[in-house]
Structure 1
Amino acid sequence: MNFYHLIVNLKPIYLPILLLTAQISLIKPASAQNSVQATPVDNSSPRICPANLPSEIQKITTRPLLAKARWGIAVETLSGGKTLYSQERDKYFIPASNVKLLTSAAALTRLGSDFRIRTSIYATDSPKQSLLLVGRGDPSFSNPQLRELVRQLQAKNYTQIEELKVSDRYFQGTTTHPTWEWEDVQYYYGTIVNSLILNQNAVGLTIYPQKVGNPLNYVWSDPLAVWGRPVANESLTSEANSAANLQLIGIPGKSLLKIQGQLPVGSQPESQSLAVIDPAKYFTDSFQVALLSVGIKVKAVKFLSTTEAPNPETEVAFVESPPLTDLLMEVNQNSNNLYSEVLLRTLGAIKQPKQDYDVSVVGLSTIKDTLKQIGVDPQSYIIVDGSGLSRHNLVSPDSLIQTLKAMDKSPYASVYRQSLPASGMNGTLKNRFGNAVNLIQAKTGTMTGVVALSGYITPTDYEPLVFSIIVNQSDQKAIATRQSIDEVVILLTRLRRC
């Protein structure tokens, strides 16, 4: 069955879903970072003097609960640079998503707050009535933007496209970092980073119990995202009082997905958001469906193997992303890995490297150069990706302090700071520090054995502070480590001049 017949057959059932559904809800597995809420910490205790701060912090960091953990802490006044507390601040730690502080600082400094990512369609002469689709990695591109491209082509009276050329080569090089863990790359937060992104390269999977003894039922949120992907359903609906035990298992190097385990009969369905394994095809197939819905047929599709530089004057349709100001809100407040990795590759792509050069490598070099220019010691960190998903990233609290202070002096200081989660208000701090609302703007970071928090604090009775706290090698659940970090931060909000 060819694609044209496929989408005609799908149209009665799936077309309203494909064209009208907004961006899918992304649900992390329990192991994903920043998904666990911390217990609110009471900050109603008396104010403390800076001289007493070290002993108060050490009461928290030396508790038996975290005796095996390694703490890196740096606390300074924002303007004067006076150190109030320091513990292994110049040592390397795995930072998790605190890497995003470095990526977003470099992107904002190099690209500017109004930078936008453009997805374009160009007219081509060979053959006539052919189009060239060029993606440049817009991570916010979703179904409404797809329909907008179609609307513009319809307005130009297109009824048939002889050949649709597809360029997914703006981001050359690796699409998934080789040091990301296999479990992570199966889920949306470790999805492929390419040039044609649709719905964050993720697809929802909902699994339902059936009658006892029967396999579980499963439904994809968008059939085109998984067209042709084999699923081995080895699951079972179990007795009502049995334990739920559901596993999604990907096979390295293959597209096969195994569903194993069980859900009790009558229990609530389980939902996950998985990575799309061929996002360029998903984008292109969805585009063809959208074109067909308004009567525009594509006769042939050709994926380009090399980068083609189009003539800007032949652009017939385009969509731009929101400005970088808005993209950074998604990077830092919601800790979006895809957005962060796109910014890394954009920093590499704008330097127009040679053909077939890895833009992520160029992007890492650009981050290093840019941060050095604003005063961040290049020896104080080693990063291998833009999001912090790799455990090969090594960052010192010092490097984060230097970055935060440099950005506070930047022309983009307010944009950078507002991109961070605010305590008790938004992002990954919405449900933390409920008694210290908006006193803390900081980036979270969590992976197994790692919890981090770095940012700014505005105490009510003391001058503004900058801080970085990273805990590694913890054998406790993230919520327990996070609770201890929160207690340290609440101490900082209680500082007073004395």
Structure 2
Amino acid sequence: MKGVKDGDARRWVSTVWRRLKWPLLLAGVLLCVGAIVVAGMVPGLLNGPKSVPPPPAWQQGPSQLSDVNSVLPLGDDAPLPVPAELARLLNETLKPDGTGSITGVVMDASTGEVLFDREADANRIPASNMKLLTAVAALKAMGPESRFTTRVLASEDPSTVVLTGGGDVLLGAGASDSSAVMGRAGLGSLALDTAAALTSAGVKGPINVQVDDSLFSGAPLNPAWSPDDVAAGETAPLFSLALNSGRYSPSVTTGPRPQDSAVTTAQAFAGQLAAAGVQVSPGVERGKGIPTNVLASADSATVAEQVDLMLESSDNFLAEALGRMTAVASGGEATYDGATAAVRQRLGELGIATDSMQLADVSGLALENQVSAKQFAEVVRAITSGPDLALRTALDGFPVAGLTGTLDDRYVDAGTAEGAGLVRAKTGTLNTVIALSGYVVDADGRLLVFSFIGNGLQPGAAGNKVAMDRSASVLASCGCRG
């Protein structure tokens, strides 16, 4: 070191060494320990490279795309329940509480093999299980992504606008809500768009509001329905546009309903038009607009979304509206008879025998309906496993045991809890009728479809729903191999 004496240099080096020797020694120890650990973790690291076996097949990416063109059931190679063992278990649970009888069937979803059969071909009153037929017919006829459009048309009289129904009975009173099913199209938004169109055309008030509900024809009320059910609000006269699925409020799902949903909807639209700053004449009447002169329009939720809502909440009014729209899409008349004919037609196209069916409505309120448990199981199988993938969109609509829809307050006791969260099924309830049709993956991973229908039951007997739920829970927990 230039300018530094030898003694000073030696002292400087000694000082630096004293300060650095322990950190350097510690680093060396750590490097040695690290080398030993790595050598232990990776055998052969210090003895040269060795070949590493490839990962198992299930960890590797596919070498080519699958050529399967349909969605297959879960556990296609899982063992089937032994029919004799399944019958032994179900015969213990599938018993009426008092009078009446219960028919039923269990089928393997993949093969269609019948695993349990108790008068499965016998015609029965199915109650709201009818909505399963309506669901597949609507999806088959219109497609899952179709929407219904409500329009405001100009009339030959410039001071008149015509609210025109397009089959959407889930209109909301306020602004359109793109995240909703009920209320996807809102009268508030329609009114604002109409007001803007009138201003642009230089039309000033007062404006007359009319309504065109001619898309649906025939009687608004089905003569097969009990007047007591109508009075109780189970359904209402049907028109081609309605607020809140034919109710005064979306949050009130019982009690009286509007008896003319078309006029009620038009009155609400007139109120929204006035709130948008348009001078509106009092009163609403029926009329016709000019189809090519659209002032405003709003689209409904998709058919798939409406089908799911219908199944989950068992909405009779919505079911009948979807039935009428299925008739329109099938080239028939949008009447009650047209709806049942269209449902029968679409089921036939799916290969489901309909000759023995008797269809008086498409919601299940009519006691004249007659459908077998086997036919319902075949419909459920078409949804879960059939070749028409459009029907898969109905899967989300099935209520989940103990969690959603009409099954949210069931499967809560010890006898049925094994099915909670696993059983997915459409319910059906009338005075002397209880039905349950759906699907479940059993304990071995086999997808099963089932239908249980009780007729002539003692009204109000709590054990009948329990019998259905316990039987479905048997399927959920079943290995059933004897």
- SS of structure 1 residue aligned to 2:123: coil
| 2:384 pairs with 1:384 | no
Task: Please report how far the alpha carbon of residue 405 of structure 1 lies from its aligned counterpart in structure 2 after TM superposition.
Answer: 1.7
Q: What TM-score comes out, normalization by structure 1 length?
A: 0.71
Task: Tell me the equivalent position of 2:73.
Answer: none
Distance 1:302 1:424, change over 3 A: closer
What is the CA deviation profile of residues 164-213 of structure 1, one whole-angstrom value per residue up to 9, with x for unaligned ones? 33211111112111011111112332111111212322237x9xxxxxxx
Task: Tell me the equivalent position of 1:464.
Answer: 447
* Aligned-partner Cα distance in 1 for 2:279–2:192: 14
Q: What TM-score comes out, normalization by structure 2 length?
A: 0.74
The one of 348, 360, 371 aligned to 2:336: 360
* Aligned-partner Cα distance in 1 for 2:460–2:281: 55
* Aligned-partner Cα distance in 1 for 2:390–2:480: 30
| 2:308 pairs with 1:329 | yes
Distance 1:419 1:292, change over 3 A: same
* Aligned-partner Cα distance in 2 for 1:338–1:288: 24
Higher relative contact order (CA 8 A, sep 6+): 1
Q: Tell me how large the CA RMSD over aligned residues is.
A: 2.4
| 2:292 pairs with 1:316 | no
* Aligned-partner Cα distance in 1 for 2:290–2:331: 15
Runs of 5+ unmatched residues, structure 1: 1-47, 207-220, 222-270
Equivalent residues in 2 for 1:185-224 (5 A)? 185-203=230-248
- SS of structure 2 residue aligned to 1:109: helix
Task: Please report how far the alpha carbon of residue 272 of structure 1 lies from its aligned counterpart in structure 2 after TM superposition.
Answer: 4.8
Distance 1:466 1:380, change over 3 A: farther
Equivalent position amino acid for 1:188 in 2: G
Task: Tell me the equivalent position of 1:273.
Answer: 255
CA contact (8 A) 1:127 1:163 kept: no
What is the CA deviation profile of residues 47-69 of structure 1, one whole-angstrom value per residue up to 9, with x for unaligned ones? x8543221222223457x33x21
* Aligned-partner Cα distance in 2 for 1:435–1:94: 28
* Aligned-partner Cα distance in 2 for 1:176–1:192: 5
CA contact (8 A) 1:120 1:134 kept: yes
Aligned-pair identity (%): 25
* Aligned-partner Cα distance in 2 for 1:468–1:113: 25
What is the CA deviation profile of residues 256-315 of structure 1, one whole-angstrom value per residue up to 9, with x for unaligned ones? xxxxxxxxxxxxxxx95212122222112222222122221233766347xx57433x11
What is the CA deviation profile of residues 384-403 of structure 1, one whole-angstrom value per residue up to 9, with x for unaligned ones? 11100111111101111121
* Aligned-partner Cα distance in 2 for 1:60–1:172: 46
Task: Tell me the equivalent position of 2:190.
Answer: 149
| 2:60 pairs with 1:60 | no
The one of 121, 127, 141 aligned to 1:90: 121
Distance 1:374 1:310, change over 3 A: farther
* Aligned-partner Cα distance in 2 for 1:57–1:371: 29
| 2:140 pairs with 1:109 | yes
Equivalent position amino acid for 1:459 in 2: D
The one of 129, 134, 140 aligned to 2:164: 134
- SS of structure 2 residue aligned to 1:273: coil
- Number of aligned positions between the proteins: 379
Distance 1:61 1:405, change over 3 A: closer
The one of 465, 471, 474 aligned to 1:488: 471
Equivalent position amino acid for 1:470 in 2: I
| 2:108 pairs with 1:77 | yes
* Aligned-partner Cα distance in 2 for 1:183–1:383: 20
| 2:227 pairs with 1:182 | yes
What is the CA deviation profile of residues 121-172 of structure 1, one whole-angstrom value per residue up to 9, with x for unaligned ones? 1123x22232222112312102121111111122222642543332111111
Task: Please report how far the alpha carbon of residue 427 of structure 1 lies from its aligned counterpart in structure 2 after TM superposition.
Answer: 0.9
CA contact (8 A) 2:399 2:406 kept: yes
CA contact (8 A) 1:50 1:495 kept: no
Q: Point out the structure with max Rg over C-alpha.
A: 2
- SS of structure 2 residue aligned to 1:387: coil
Task: Tell me the equivalent position of 1:167.
Answer: 212
Task: Please report how far the alpha carbon of residue 457 of structure 1 lies from its aligned counterpart in structure 2 after TM superposition.
Answer: 1.0
Runs of 5+ unmatched residues, structure 2: 1-80, 175-185, 412-416
* Aligned-partner Cα distance in 2 for 1:323–1:172: 23
Task: Please report how far the alpha carbon of residue 441 of structure 1 lies from its aligned counterpart in structure 2 after TM superposition.
Answer: 1.5
CA contact (8 A) 2:159 2:206 kept: yes
Equivalent position amino acid for 1:97 in 2: S
Task: Tell me the equivalent position of 2:37.
Answer: none
* Aligned-partner Cα distance in 1 for 2:132–2:95: 28
- SS of structure 2 residue aligned to 1:404: helix
The one of 373, 389, 394 aligned to 1:416: 394
Moved over 4 A (4+): none
Distance 1:475 1:316, change over 3 A: same
Task: Please report how far the alpha carbon of residue 448 of structure 1 lies from its aligned counterpart in structure 2 after TM superposition.
Answer: 0.5
CA contact (8 A) 2:232 2:256 kept: yes
Distance 1:293 1:56, change over 3 A: same
- SS of structure 2 residue aligned to 1:366: helix
- SS of structure 2 residue aligned to 1:163: strand
CA contact (8 A) 1:380 1:398 kept: no
* Aligned-partner Cα distance in 1 for 2:133–2:472: 21
* Aligned-partner Cα distance in 2 for 1:194–1:274: 16
* Aligned-partner Cα distance in 2 for 1:349–1:301: 31
